[in-house]
Amino acid sequence: MICKNSFLALLVMMMLFSTSPTDVFAQSTPFLSDDEILMLTNEISGDRSFEHIRWLTHWHRNSGMEGFFKAADYILQAAKDAGLEDVKFIEQPLDGAAYTAKSAELWMIEPVEVKLADIGDHALYLADGSHDADVTAELVWIGDGSTKALENVDVAGKIVLTNGQPGRAVFAAVYEKGALGVVTYPTSEGKSPMDFPDQIAWSRIPMTPPEGKNGTFAFVLPPRKGDNLRRILATDELQDVFATGKFTKGGRIVLKAKVDTEIGAAPGRTGFVEGWIRGTKYHDQQIVLTAHLQEEQGSANDDGSGCGNLLELARVLNKLIAEGKMQRPLRDIRFWWTDEIYSEYRYFRDFPDEPKKFLVNLHQDMVGAKQSLGSRVQHLINPPQSITSYLDALFESIGMYVIQTNNAFLAASRSGLAARPHTRAIYSTRGTREGFAARFVPYFGASDYMCFIEGAIGVPAIGLINWDDFYIHSSDDDLYQIDQTQLARNAFIIGSMAYYLCSAEAQDVPLLASETFVQGTQRLTRDLQVAMTLLTKQSDTPAESWKDAKLAVEQGLERERRAIASVGVFAGKNTDALGTIASFSKRLDAKQNAILADLQSYYHALHNTNPGQIKLTEQEAAAAKKIPANTPVLEDYFGRRGKVRFRSKMHNIMRSEVFNFVDGKRSYYDIYKAVRAEAMHAGEWYYGTVELADVTGLLDAAVEAQALILK
């Protein structure tokens, strides 16, 4: 704490500085002027976004459900009201039948009458895929619902109680042993039931029963309620577990289940809502803004928050254009409210030429978290290294601006030169004044943006997802845990990036190239650190350690060359802009010599000798001779890739990166080196390790499935 006299002196200084604003240097980003930042923060409203979320939380809106289409109708009208052009619903076939539960109730009628579940209270009380039922039967406890737990348990004609996933109990108890239905109380995302005793997990069972079997049902209870049933069954003593005021004998329970559903013919229908802000010049460099509409009832954060923010950005950009504060963009901006992941893959397969018109994808998923609930952190997700580009630098610059200006720093707070506690705060009227707990993280594929960065598509994309989240896919993902302030901050990041990119041209190349180069220099420093650590840890096998260390830095340099080259999309035929890109590429050549010299010097310090020439193993030499290419038709490529069967311990993200690096030029060995380097860059704890056999085995399996061809 500061003393009273010091405080008075500081107050005088603040008053003096307040009369001389030019002495105060505002925090900023080189991609936006202070006036542009103010223009966007003045208009973007987390409160308006929240109101859209309020409507969306009404409906259980899984793919193809009645609630999904009601939500889509709401988005259609709201997008038109926000000023978007050519707003329409793009219909797509649904894998499987359309499904909607109309009503479902579960009652305990013995030993005392208690309503246990009603989808009028919350849709998640019934597992998706449940069939019609009207049964009264005794309840039997079957533990985790496994085949072993069911040994010597008579469940025929009864309803079973389990704390495991309902699908397992459906097969083991209903289809195999003649039970009538399932009552379960699992947790969402594997959380402890002690931490979330009243949370209902979003669950599903297979809609189509095995041949010769009738469909069944599964009710899903919160852990506290489900465990109460287990306790009643565990003893025949008198008890009042549900606080009805009646002490009744335990040991036996009779339930009544009534379910009414609509299951249509397969295939059903789904789709996504699209709207446009039409650009004036470039129609083959579209900016695609995405959020996904489909989820469970509630799903305020996942992804009602992204959907609300997308509507708000549509309103803001159109308002700024109408008022003359923003020029109509040079590039088209497309807004998509999707059936998560499915919509993009289906659209790319149906319209394979459309992705060629995309410049970038900017995605929002779970961007409204009240961060003090569950200590949630906003993850700003970098693209994978297969598609590192100028977008990374733009993302980092604007993202760091929001992080730095919306968190409290002691030096800034006590300087008297800036507002306290947040120096350029983004707040909402009904939001909190909490800080912005956010960090940049290496790529993880968990939402719509993953479709765009596919090697066969090749569109740079970034995503925003808060994690860890205690409320995802459960009855707790509702309005009370949304913060309008965090909505506004995340909308600002995406809106600012779209605002800059929609009109960037050749004159912007020096800034984009320099920021990409500087960010790349930081990444290369990380590569050198990784390489030196490998030399230290594997000092007893110097030849192998040198091969890995050199691989790490050389692949890093290749990555940065691709990133610098990506700026060329804005250069066109402008010779000055192209010259700027070439000059930065030459600087990377100089850096390569310096980094390799540093690495070689460290090797010499460890072993008192210079590293020898790298020799390929027989397996590596064979891998270097095989060059895969994607099957050219996207429908064939994605359809066949889903049939690739190869098991290994390789991380699923590194598995996807193997495919992303396929370009018809890289060999198996080149792809292995790129993916192994990416895993080492992030760390074994994040991506695991990548071995040559993992890569060659996966690629061979893809060739066998005809998703890839060998050149």
Tell me the domains of the chain and their CATH numbers: 26-95+283-501 (3.40.630.10), 99-263 (3.50.30.30), 505-615 (1.10.132), 617-711 (no CATH)
**pLDDT tens, 184-210?**
999 998 889 999 999 999 999 999 999
**pLDDT tens, 440-460?**
999 999 999 999 999 999 999
CA end-to-end distance (rounded Å), the chain: 70
Using CA atoms, how far apart are residues 4 and 464, in angstroms rounded to an integer?
44
Residue in the block written with tokens 């991506």: 687
Cβ distance 254 to 136 under 8 Å? yes
Closest to 595 (Cα-Cα) out of 544, 516, 526:
526
- Strands 248-249 and 268-277 turn out to be unpaired
Backbone angles phi, psi at 33, to 5 degrees: -75, 165
Structure tokens at 369: 């978290």
What is the average per-residue pLDDT within 581-585?
Answer: 96
What is the average per-residue pLDDT within 86-100?
Answer: 95
What's the pLDDT at 425? 93
Cβ distance 200 to 299 under 8 Å? no
Structure tokens at 184: 């379960």
List helix spans (H) across 416-508.
449-452, 484-501
| Phi-psi map region of 375: left, alpha, beta (phi>0 left; psi -120 to 50 alpha) | left
Q: Which residues pair with 386 in a beta bridge?
A: none
Q: Binning pLDDT at 50, 70 and 90, where does residue 598 land? A: very high
| Phi-psi map region of 83: left, alpha, beta (phi>0 left; psi -120 to 50 alpha) | left
Q: What share of the chain is helix, strand, coil (3-state, %, to 5)?
A: 45, 20, 35
Structure tokens at 598: 């540093």
Using CA atoms, how far apart are residues 280 and 112, in angstroms rounded to an integer?
70
Distances (CA, A) of 299 to 49, 200, 315, 367: 14, 12, 23, 12
Cβ distance 30 to 401 under 8 Å? no
Backbone angles phi, psi at 292, to 5 degrees: -115, 140
Q: Binning pLDDT at 50, 70 and 90, where does residue 5 land? A: very low
What's the pLDDT at 1? 43
Residue percentage of the chain with pLDDT more than 70: 96
Q: Is the dihedral of CA 196, 57, 496, 428 positive or negative?
A: negative
Cβ distance 78 to 52 under 8 Å? yes
Q: To the nearest whole number, what is the mean pLDDT of the chain?
A: 94
Structure tokens at 131: 């069939």
Residue percentage of the chain with pLDDT more than 90: 89
Q: Which residues pair with 256 in a beta bridge?
A: 107, 136
What is the average per-residue pLDDT within 287-297?
Answer: 97
AA letter at 197: P
What's the pLDDT at 25? 46
What's the pLDDT at 27? 76
Using the predicted structure, report yes or no on whether residue 213 has a pLDDT greater than 70: yes
Using CA atoms, how far apart are residues 527 and 521, in angstroms rounded to an integer?
10
What is the average per-residue pLDDT within 208-222?
Answer: 96
What's the pLDDT at 10? 34
- Hey, how many other C-beta atoms are within 10 angstroms of the C-beta on 83? 17
Give me the count of residues in the chain.
711
Distances (CA, A) of 556 to 404, 681, 682: 28, 9, 12
| Phi-psi map region of 206: left, alpha, beta (phi>0 left; psi -120 to 50 alpha) | beta
AA letter at 523: R
Using the predicted structure, report yes or no on whether residue 229 has a pLDDT greater than 60: yes
Q: Binning pLDDT at 50, 70 and 90, where does residue 263 land? A: very high
Cβ distance 330 to 92 under 8 Å? no
Looking from the CA of 296 toward its CB, the CA atoms found within 13 Å total 22
**pLDDT tens, 21-34?**
333 445 789 999 99
Backbone angles phi, psi at 185, to 5 degrees: -145, 60
Using the predicted structure, report yes or no on whether residue 4 has a pLDDT greater than 80: no
What's the pLDDT at 95? 87
**Of 176-190, 348-362, 537-551, minimum mean pLDDT range:** 537-551
AA letter at 657: E
Q: Binning pLDDT at 50, 70 and 90, where does residue 9 land? A: very low
- Hey, how many other C-beta atoms are within 10 angstroms of the C-beta on 4? 7
**pLDDT tens, 531-573?**
999 999 887 889 899 999 999 999 999 999 999 999 999 999 9
For 602-621, b/e burial (b = at least 16 CB within 10 A) is bbeeeeeeebeeeeeeeebe
Using the predicted structure, report yes or no on whether residue 273 has a pLDDT greater than 60: yes
Closest to 296 (Cα-Cα) out of 185, 366, 202:
202
What is the average per-residue pLDDT within 254-276?
Answer: 96
Gyration radius from the chain CA atoms: 29
Per-residue three-class SS string for 615-674 = CCCHHHHHHCCCCEEECCCHHHHHHHHCCCCCCCCCCHHHHHHHHHCCCCCCCHHHHHHH
DSSP state of 169: H
**pLDDT tens, 369-401?**
999 998 899 999 999 999 999 999 999 999 999
Closest to 462 (Cα-Cα) out of 547, 388, 561:
388
What's the pLDDT at 112? 94
- Hey, how many other C-beta atoms are within 10 angstroms of the C-beta on 525? 12
- Strands 254-263 and 133-141 turn out to be antiparallel
Using the predicted structure, report yes or no on whether residue 12 has a pLDDT greater than 50: no
Which residues 6+ apart lie within 8 Å of 324 measured at CB?
none
Distances (CA, A) of 123 to 302, 351, 557: 16, 35, 52
Using CA atoms, how far apart are residues 366 and 444, in angstroms rounded to an integer?
14
Which residues 6+ apart lie within 8 Å of 107 measured at CB?
113, 114, 115, 116, 255, 256, 257
Distances (CA, A) of 13 to 5, 23, 84, 648: 13, 12, 49, 64
Residue in the block written with tokens 């008053």: 15
Using CA atoms, how far apart are residues 226 and 231, in angstroms rounded to an integer?
9
**pLDDT tens, 34-83?**
999 999 999 999 999 999 999 999 999 999 999 999 999 999 999 999 99
What's the pLDDT at 26? 54
SS3 label, residue 40: helix
**pLDDT tens, 628-661?**
999 999 999 999 999 999 999 999 999 999 999 9
What's the pLDDT at 602? 95
For 153-178, b/e burial (b = at least 16 CB within 10 A) is eebeebbbbbbbbbbbbbbbbbbebe
